[in-house]
Structure 1
Amino acid sequence: MESISASGHPPTSTDEEHGVEAQGTERNPQTNPMPSPPVVPTKKRKEVESRSIVWDHFEKIRAPPAEGETEGPVVEGKCLYCAKIYKCESKKHGTSSLKNHMNACLKNPHCKDTRQSLLTFNASGTEASEGVLGTWVFNQEAIRRALCEMIIVDELPFRIVEGNGFRKFILVACPRFQIPSRWTISRDIYQIYLDERISLKKLFRVSTQRVSLTTDTWTSVQRINYMCITAHFIDDQWKLNKKIISFVPISSHKGEYIAKALESCLLDWGIKNVFTVTVDNASSNDTALGFFKNKILSWGGSSVRVQYMHMRCIAHVLNLVVQDGLRYAGPSVKKVRDVVRWVRSSPARLKKFREIAVLNGVEAKCALQLDVPTRWNNTYMMLNTALQYQRAFEAYENDASLNADLSDSIPNFMDWLSVQSLVHFLKGFYEMTVRISGFLYVTSNTFFSEISDLGCMLDDMVNSVSTSKKEMGSHMKQKFEKYWGDPEKMNFLIFYANILDPRDKIEYMPAQFAQLYGDEKGKSCFEKVQSSMVLLFNDYTATYHVQSASPTVQSTQSEPVHSQTSVGKPQARMKSQLKKQRMESGGSSKETDLQIYLSEKLVEDEENVDFDVLRWWKVNSD
């Protein structure tokens, strides 16, 4: 029912606008009360902080604040580098002009379009490039790849990119670099691995690169058998490369499983030109290399070169020789090991020992270390360090707890003399192990010289007046003769590599053979080495001669010969045919490269100068 006004007519629009107030006046508030609407307070809009990147390079200039406001709106921006001012009021101008100037400002060091190149010193990590002046241009992808390489080389965790310290460092060093997440870094590193794998596969497939392999197997604490295969090769720049091409679990340490793992790895990489495979002296490796040689022959390998494929690890044999002698080193080594273990077993003892060392004027910089008994070079380092702290150990003998725990195992003066003599004796073997274990440089050219030195050292031990040293030397000599006593059981590549050293060639080899195996046996062995090396050289010459020859070249060379010898010169025709047969078989009337090399003078070996045999061959092959 419509409401009716006091005059009896329906209310008009004017009445409706004021009807609430009029009716509220006429009606009884007790019968029909009408509450007044609540008053909503006006809220000031919250100011949002500007998120534009331009304010990292501009200073905000604000207008005078209005009544009731603390600060006015931003109307202009002043460049932090060149002090130019641009309008930037949000409703009229915006920040487009500021962005354009930020990218074009000549004084902005973070500008992508800087017209003048920045000078810097190249820092590629090599000594040859140090101090070379160059130009620097910001490249997001290059810095990102360098970051991945840093994580790979230094073995850092992926989450380093999310650390506050790293982010602060990048903000100061290169603010424009956008730091990727650890998930992006992991994908980038995996992509680097894939790219390097593709390029290495291309090198192995396209080039006739000879590859030497080293491999070993072991069992982890989880009882899982693993196998690692490393490829060593010389690239076209005459640089030695070392690449791990396989790291896989294997089901067993038996020879057939090792051979299958080698085969699948080489098929995956496309490697067929295998030079040598270096393994330790386990019997399973002999079986594996037997299977593997047959596989190489089926791939088209030369039978002459296959017989030189199995190479026993020189460092492993040396370790067995010295380890066999250390068993008869006497009780002095055990006493020193026990007292070192006792001092290191407690932080309080180690602290007291250091204080005693300082009081007695011990200037040793290396800390005490405990050896692994199965590694003789580790034992040598333990004894050598302990000798430097001899005065500290002698001053520590009065300690009551030491005498209570090691009453019969405290080394006395005679024990220290025995250890000193043993360290002096082991030093030569340790330095020899360090030399032949290098992988950043070629070591095969020194193997025969090292074996000769080892034989002389063992002979001196056997002829020593000291009973203990003589006993050790006799046992080490037996182990030495087991592997290197018969040259027929050795890989002749050890001798060939020594001949290819321009400092030695064959000048000293007859005397070395005579010293190792006697005059008669040494002479026959030297003659066999010479004849076998000529056969190997002829095999390589014939192989690469066939590969380098082409039918077009042969036809162009043979046509003039027939035209000149077809009329009235039968002897010339016969000589031409014999010469052609001799050239095809790898022979020549001239001296071979091997004969020319052996006839040249020796390279003088300067003292205190490291001779780079690869660099020498590179210079002389150009």
Structure 2
Amino acid sequence: MSQESATVHENSEPNESGSECESVVCKRSRNAISEVWTYLQRSKDKTRAKCLSCEKVYKTSGNTSNLLDHLKRTHPETYDSHSARKKALDSALMKMIAIDYQPFRIVEDEAFSAFVKLLDPRYVMPSRTTLQNVMCHELYDQSKANLKNILMKVNTCAISTDAWTSRANESYLTVTCHFIENCSLRSAVLSTYNLLESTNHSAANIAESLRIVLTEWGVLDKVSNVITDNASSMIKACELLQKTTSSVLCSHIKFGCARCVVTYFKSSSIAYAKFKNAQGTGKVYNLLQECPTRWNSAYRMIKRILQTKDIISSVILRTPKAPQTLSADEIELLEELVELLAPFDDATIQVSASNSVTISLIIPIICGIFQTLNETHNKLKTNEGLAIFNILIKRLQIRLVPYENRTTPKMSTLLDPRFKKEGFRNHIIAEQAALALENDLCNMLKALSPVVTDLPTHTVTSPESSTQQPKIAPLFMFLNDKVAGKRKSTRADAIIMLRQYFENQNLPHDFDPLEYWKTNTDMKVLTQCALRYLCTPATSTEPERVFSK
């Protein structure tokens, strides 16, 4: 008799029918549900067991020792709860939650659990508490260590930052880092960090909060540019950190008549249903409402109204207490507005990209906007359209044209093989930027320049011996100083390098500039200079995207 059955036998008491054995059997039956039956299937006569993984069949008479031995020997990765497969599945689950912003409680959802069970009946998901308190911290520490190792190898980077207040009225500062690794643009969120003093939004408090984040990640001395919004406290904070800053410009235009129409349809379910039904069985459009903090939404609102203006008019005319339909003059004005604002929408999309170089686009895009607006000016018929044109040109002159004089945008435009000097509106500024770039290259070449040795001695072979004997040529000693001076002329090297680069054909607009510098092995110093500038983003959209998430 086994130890287990002996113990049960001693603690059991015979009943009136004397069925002491029945009590023992019942007790053992409840305890005999082994975990091996999760991985094997018992036959109907209970004399055999089939492995669910390899389909091997084993004899069994109720004892599971041989079955357990089979699992440990043949399928340790599925049987062992600490196996490599279990860890891999747990890790994948945690990454899914982190990357897709899923709640920890997803492991408690009935449908999700059933889905996972169908994929792998033997996998037991970790609990919500384990995910939140253990695995999430482990993944964060691992990801942080990996990112630190990457940033350690980076020579220069840029950051974008923005402040945000949560619904709980808590102040946060998000910092994203932008750098180039193996000639590919990379972005990473360094922190969504509480301000040191949550009630203090001063420049000093922001600067010290930024300093803590950048120091923790080891990039304080590597940051070449800081991208912020127009807040004066942000700009002042960058000055306190002694970092070059580029502010993001935005504007808001209000359109009363268009907003009134959209508001009516959005507030009336009956009118909105009529609007959708009137569009038939083809593509059904929704009306878009303007968002006060996103000027592009006003442009898209007007564009959608023009796309559906006939349907809007027919619904309004057939609906009681509806507002007046848009007049022909209002439609004409909205059409002109779309023409005027289209280049701004296109520009916003391009400079807000996350996975491509954007800083070099600023100056060429400003040139393109001016040209497009001037072409549109000849088509304008309404006084309101002409007035808006004049306002846009004036604001462009004040707020965007100065970017052509800022170091990072103009250097990056020069070093983008798609644009070079041709990307500037003002050729004088382009030449000034080229001279500044030349000076940068000179300094870099001087730092890399090796110590120049004297002119090598002339070597002759003696007739009496096969060994070579050094012999100084005194008449040519005067060449030493000239050759040394020639080798030390980093200015000439820089001029030649830039001339070669500028005279090469400009690349197509859809070409990746980083791919050009990746394959350009002849001008390594110029490549280093290009990567230093091109890693900077044109906008601070990355922190805003984090806040949206």
Which residue of the partner structure matches residue 264 of structure 1? 212
Give the Cα–Cα distance (whole angstroms) in 2 for the partners of residues 209 and 95 of structure 1. Answer: 61
The Cα of 1:240 is off from its aligned counterpart by: 0.9
Which residue of the partner structure matches residue 395 of structure 1? 314
The Cα of 1:222 is off from its aligned counterpart by: 4.4
Asked if the contact 2:107/2:125 (under 8 Å) is kept, the reply is yes
Establish whether residue 501 from structure 1 lines up as the match of residue 416 from structure 2: yes
The code of the aligned residue for 1:247 comes to: T
Which residue of the partner structure matches residue 204 of structure 1? 151
Which residue of the partner structure matches residue 276 of structure 2? 354
- CA displacement 1:318-376 (0-9 Å, x = unmatched): x32xx3xx35xxxxx42232222122224344334333x24xx3744342232113422
TM-score normalised per structure 2 = 0.77
The sequence identity of aligned pairs, in percent, is 24
Establish whether residue 54 from structure 1 lines up as the match of residue 23 from structure 2: no
1:266–1:487 Cα change, 3 Å: closer
What root-mean-square deviation, in Å, do the aligned CA atoms of Structure 1 and Structure 2 show? Answer: 3.4
Asked if the contact 2:174/2:192 (under 8 Å) is kept, the reply is yes
**Within 5 Å, which residues of 2 pair with 1:355-394?**
355=277, 357-358=278-279, 361=280, 363-394=282-313
Which residue of the partner structure matches residue 621 of structure 1? 521
Which residue of the partner structure matches residue 8 of structure 1? none
Give the Cα–Cα distance (whole angstroms) in 2 for the partners of residues 383 and 523 of structure 1. Answer: 37
The Cα of 1:232 is off from its aligned counterpart by: 0.4
Which residue of the partner structure matches residue 571 of structure 1? 478
Which residue of the partner structure matches residue 60 of structure 2? 88
Asked if the contact 1:226/1:249 (under 8 Å) is kept, the reply is yes
Asked if the contact 1:210/1:274 (under 8 Å) is kept, the reply is yes
1:593–1:193 Cα change, 3 Å: farther
Which residue of the partner structure matches residue 157 of structure 1? 103
The Cα of 1:145 is off from its aligned counterpart by: 1.6
- CA displacement 1:253-299 (0-9 Å, x = unmatched): 33333322232222221111222112223333332232222xx6xxx
Give the Cα–Cα distance (whole angstroms) in 1 for the partners of residues 391 and 267 of structure 2. Answer: 34
**Any idea what SS the aligned residue of 1:209 has?**
coil
1:148–1:559 Cα change, 3 Å: farther
Bigger mean CA offset, 273-282 vs 40-49: 40-49
Establish whether residue 540 from structure 1 lines up as the match of residue 444 from structure 2: yes
**Any idea what SS the aligned residue of 2:125 has?**
coil
Give the Cα–Cα distance (whole angstroms) in 1 for the partners of residues 427 and 382 of structure 2. Answer: 33
The code of the aligned residue for 1:312 comes to: S
Give the Cα–Cα distance (whole angstroms) in 2 for the partners of residues 275 and 188 of structure 1. Answer: 35
Residue of 374, 389, 392 corresponding to 1:473:
389
- CA displacement 1:105-137 (0-9 Å, x = unmatched): 7xxxx77499xxxxxxxxxxxxxxxxxxxxxx9
Give the Cα–Cα distance (whole angstroms) in 1 for the partners of residues 420 and 305 of structure 2. Answer: 43
Residue of 445, 455, 461 corresponding to 2:360:
445
Which residue of the partner structure matches residue 267 of structure 2? 345
Asked if the contact 2:364/2:419 (under 8 Å) is kept, the reply is no
Asked if the contact 1:225/1:249 (under 8 Å) is kept, the reply is yes
TM-score normalised per structure 1 = 0.69
The Cα of 1:102 is off from its aligned counterpart by: 4.9
Give the Cα–Cα distance (whole angstroms) in 2 for the partners of residues 88 and 393 of structure 1. Answer: 77
The Cα of 1:147 is off from its aligned counterpart by: 1.4
Structure 2 gap segments, 5+ residues each: 1-13, 459-469, 523-549
Give the Cα–Cα distance (whole angstroms) in 2 for the partners of residues 532 and 427 of structure 1. Answer: 34
Asked if the contact 2:262/2:288 (under 8 Å) is kept, the reply is yes
Residue of 178, 182, 203 corresponding to 2:124:
178
Which residue of the partner structure matches residue 436 of structure 1? 351
Give the Cα–Cα distance (whole angstroms) in 2 for the partners of residues 364 and 180 of structure 1. Answer: 45
Give the Cα–Cα distance (whole angstroms) in 2 for the partners of residues 178 and 263 of structure 1. Answer: 44
Asked if the contact 1:566/1:573 (under 8 Å) is kept, the reply is no
The Cα of 1:80 is off from its aligned counterpart by: 6.3
The Cα of 1:565 is off from its aligned counterpart by: 6.5
Give the Cα–Cα distance (whole angstroms) in 2 for the partners of residues 183 and 172 of structure 1. Answer: 23
Higher RCO, 1 vs 2 (CA within 8 Å, ≥6 residues apart): 2
- CA displacement 1:12-40 (0-9 Å, x = unmatched): xxxxxxxxxxxxxxxxxxxxxxxxxx993
Which residue of the partner structure matches residue 595 of structure 1? 499
The code of the aligned residue for 1:169 comes to: F
The Cα of 1:504 is off from its aligned counterpart by: 3.1
Residue of 213, 220, 229 corresponding to 1:280:
229
Give the Cα–Cα distance (whole angstroms) in 1 for the partners of residues 54 and 484 of structure 2. Answer: 85
Asked if the contact 2:163/2:173 (under 8 Å) is kept, the reply is yes
Structure 1 gap segments, 5+ residues each: 1-37, 63-73, 115-136, 297-308, 328-332, 514-521
The code of the aligned residue for 1:442 comes to: V
Establish whether residue 253 from structure 1 lines up as the match of residue 201 from structure 2: yes
Give the Cα–Cα distance (whole angstroms) in 2 for the partners of residues 55 and 183 of structure 1. Answer: 28
